[in-house]
Amino acid sequence: MARLNEQIEIAGGGAGARHVCRCGRDLGPVTENYKRHALMREGPVQNAGPWVDPHSIGGDRFVCRQFFCPGCLTQLDVEIAQRGEPLLWDARIRMPDEPEGAEGPEGANGPEGASKPEGSEG
Amino acid sequence: MGSSGNGAPPPMGSSGNGAPAPAGSAAIGAVDPVLFEILSSRLSAINDESAMTMRLVSGSPVANEAYDMNVGLMDADGECFAIGMYITIHSLALSATVKDIKRRFADNLGIGPGDVFMSNDPYVGACHQMDVAVVAPIFWEGELVGWTGSTVHQIDLGGPVEGQVQIGATSIWGEQPLFPPIKIVEAGRTRSDVEQGYLRRTRLPHLVGLDLRAMIAGCNVGAARVQDLIGRYGLDTVRAVIAGVSSATEARFRARLAELPDGTWSHRGYIEYDDVYPVVVEMTKRGDSLVFDFTKSADQAGAVINCTRPACVGATVAAVLPYLCFDMAWSPAGLQRAIEVRTREGSVVHAAWPAGVSKATTTGSFMATIASGVCLSKMLAATEDHLDHFMSTWMGGLYVEDMFGIDQRGNFFGAAILDAMAGGSGARARSDGLDAGGFLDSPSAIIANIEDIEYSYPLLYLSRRIQADTGGAGRYRGGNTLAMTYVIHDVDELPTKIMHAIGTCQPGSIGVAGAYPSNTNQFVIKRGTNVRALLDGGAVPTHIDEVDGELEIFADSIARTSQRPDDVYRYVAMGGGGYLDPLDRDPRRVQADVIDGVVTVAHAAEAYGVVVASDGTVDSEATEARRAEIRDQRRRSAAVPAMAGAAGA
**pLDDT digits 0-9 by tens, B265-295:** 999 999 999 999 999 999 999 999 999 999 9
SS3 (DSSP) at B101: helix
Confidence of residue B644 (pLDDT cuts 50, 70, 90): low
Name the nearest CA neighbour of B521 among B561, B551, B478, B482: B482
Tell me phi and psi for residue B281, to 5 degrees.
Answer: -130, 140
Label residue B22 by pLDDT band (50, 70, 90). very low
Q: B618, B594 in Cβ contact below 8 A?
A: no
> Are B266 and A88 an interchain contact pair (Cβ–Cβ within 8 Å)?
yes
| pLDDT confidence of residue B312 | 97
Distances (CA, A) of B494 to B263, B449, B488, B490, B572: 52, 21, 7, 10, 20
Interatomic CA distance for residues B278 and B271, integer angstroms: 6
Q: Give the per-residue pLDDT at A115.
A: 32
Sign of CA dihedral B201, B204, B205, B209: negative
Facing residues of B551 across strands? B526
| Longest Cα–Cα distance in chain B | 80
A78 and B507 within 8 Å at the Cβ level: the answer is: no
Mean pLDDT of B355-381: 97
Name the phi and psi angles at B456, rounded to 5: -80, -30
Q: Which of residues 275-334 of B touch A (CB under 8 A)?
A: 276, 278, 280, 282, 286, 296-298
Q: How far apart are CA B601 and CA B614, in angstroms?
A: 9
Q: Label residue B27 by pLDDT band (50, 70, 90).
A: low
pLDDT at A96: 79
Give the pLDDT of residue B1: 35
Chain A: residue whose CA lies nearest to B573: A51
Nearest CA distance, B600 vs chain A (angstrom): 10
Eight-state DSSP code of residue B361: G
Q: Are B165 and B219 in contact (CB under 8 A)?
A: no
E strands, B294-439, are: 339-342, 400-406, 412-417
Q: Does B522 touch chain A (CB under 8 A)?
A: yes
Chain A interface, mutation test: which of B378, B380, B640, most A Cβ atoms within 10 Å?
B640
Residue in chain B closest to A5 (alpha carbons) equals: B382
Q: How far is CA B11 from the centre of its chain?
A: 22
Whether residue B647 and residue A86 make contact (CB cut-off 8 A), yes or no, is: yes
Collect all residues with Cβ–Cβ distance below 8 Å to B98 and sequence separation of at least 6: B74, B78, B125, B135, B147, B149
Q: What are phi and psi of B350, to 5 degrees?
A: -150, 75
- pLDDT, position A105: 41
Read off the pLDDT of each residue in B394-414 and give the average, rounded to a whole number: 97
Contact of B584 with chain A, judged by CB distance below 8 Å, is answered with: yes
Identify the band that residue B19 occupies on the pLDDT scale cut at 50, 70 and 90: very low
* 3-state DSSP assignment of residue B256: helix
Q: Which residues pair with B183 in a beta bridge?
A: B117
Q: Quote the strand ranges of B375-475, DSSP E.
A: 400-406, 412-417, 459-466
- The answer to whether the CB atoms of A49 and B264 lie below 8 A apart is no
**Residue contact B511–A78, C-beta within 8 A:** yes
**pLDDT beyond 60 at B320:** yes
Q: Write down the mean pLDDT value for chain A.
A: 85
Q: What is the mean pLDDT of chain B?
A: 93
Can you tell me the distance from the alpha carbon of B117 to that of B489, in angstroms, rounded to the nearest whole number? 41
Looking at chain A, which residue has its C-alpha nearest residue B263?
A93
pLDDT at B25 over 80: no
Please state the pTM of the whole predicted model: 0.93
SS3 B551: strand
Distance CA B486, CA B540 (A): 11
* Beta sheet of A8-11, edge-to-edge order: A8-11, A18-21, A26-29
Binary contact (B582, A75; C-beta < 8 A): yes
Domain boundaries, chain A: 8-82
The C-alpha atoms of residue B193 and residue B195 are separated, in whole angstroms, by: 5
Confidence check: pLDDT of B18 > 90:
no
Of the ranges B28-32, B242-246, B518-522, which one carries the lowest mean pLDDT score?
B28-32
B281 contact residues in A (CB cutoff 8 A) = none
Lowest mean pLDDT among B3-12, B252-261, B319-328: B3-12
User: B354 preceded by cis ω (within 30°)?
Assistant: yes
Q: With bands split at pLDDT 50, 70 and 90, how would you rate the model's confidence at A121?
A: very low
Chain-centre distance for alpha carbon B633: 39
Dist CA B89 CA B311 (whole Å): 7
Residue B62 CA to residue B152 CA, distance in Å, equals 8
- How does pLDDT run across B539-587, given as a tens digit for each residue? 999 999 999 999 999 999 999 999 999 999 999 999 999 999 999 999 9
Nearest to B382 among A52, A62, A93 (CB): A93
- CA dihedral over B120, B125, B126, B132, signed as positive or negative: negative
In angstroms, the CA B222 to CA B220 distance is 5
Residue A11, pLDDT > 50, answer yes
Cβ of B646 within 8 Å of Cβ of A76? The answer is no
Write the CB contacts of B497 (distance below 8 Å, at least 6 apart in sequence): B401, B402, B403, B560, B561, B562, B563, B569
pLDDT level of residue B352 (50, 70, 90 thresholds) = very high
Q: How far apart are CA B173 and CA B129, in angstroms?
A: 12
Q: Of A23-27, B24-28, B148-152, B158-162, give the lowest mean pLDDT range.
A: B24-28
Q: Give the per-residue pLDDT at B559.
A: 97
Q: What is the pLDDT of residue A118?
A: 33
- Asked if residues A74 and B581 have their Cβ atoms less than 8 Å apart, the reply is yes
Q: Minimal CA–CA distance to B275: which of B300, B296, B293?
A: B300
- Note the pLDDT of residue B29: 67
Contact A4 B268 (CB under 8 A): no
For residue B57, which phi and psi values (nearest 5 degrees)? -80, -35
> How sure is the predictor about A99, in pLDDT bands with cuts at 50, 70 and 90?
low
Give the integer Cα–Cα distance in Å for B192 and B400: 33
Q: What is the mean pLDDT of residues B96-122?
A: 96
What is the rounded CA–CA span in Å between residue B377 and residue B390?
A: 6
Mean pLDDT of B180-189: 97
Give the gap in angstroms from C-alpha A16 to the nearest C-alpha of chain B.
Answer: 16
Closest CA to B72 of B62, B59, B85: B85
3 state DSSP class of B453 = helix
Q: Given B378, B383, B510, which is nearest A80 (Cβ)? A: B510
Q: Which amino acid is at A57?
A: I
SS (H, E, C) A23-78: CCCEEEECCCCHHHHCEEEEEEHHHHCCCCCCCCCCCCCEEEEEEECCCCCCEEEE
CA dihedral angle for residue B310, residue B146, residue B328, residue B363, rounded to 10 degrees? -20
Q: Which of residues 30-89 of A touch B (CB under 8 A)?
A: 32-33, 35-41, 45, 48-55, 57-58, 61-62, 66-68, 70, 73-82, 85-89
C-alpha to C-alpha distance for B637 and B623, rounded to whole angstroms: 21
CB-based contact B381:B513 (threshold 8 Å): yes
pLDDT at B66: 83
d(CA A103, CA A93): 9
Q: What is the pLDDT, as a whole number, of residue B92? A: 84
At residue B30, the pLDDT reads 78
* Whether B79 contacts B333, CB under 8 Å: yes
pLDDT score of B325 more than 80: yes
Please state the rounded mean pLDDT for residues B343-365.
Answer: 97
Q: Are B241 and B43 in contact (CB under 8 A)?
A: yes
| Residue B513 with chain A: CB contacts under 8 Å | 4-8, 76-77
Contact, B392 vs B380, CB < 8 A? no
In chain B, where are the structural domains located? 22-252, 392-583, 586-644
Which chain B residues touch A118 with a CB distance below 8 Å?
A: 639, 641, 644-646
Integer Cα distance of B315 and B128 in angstroms: 12
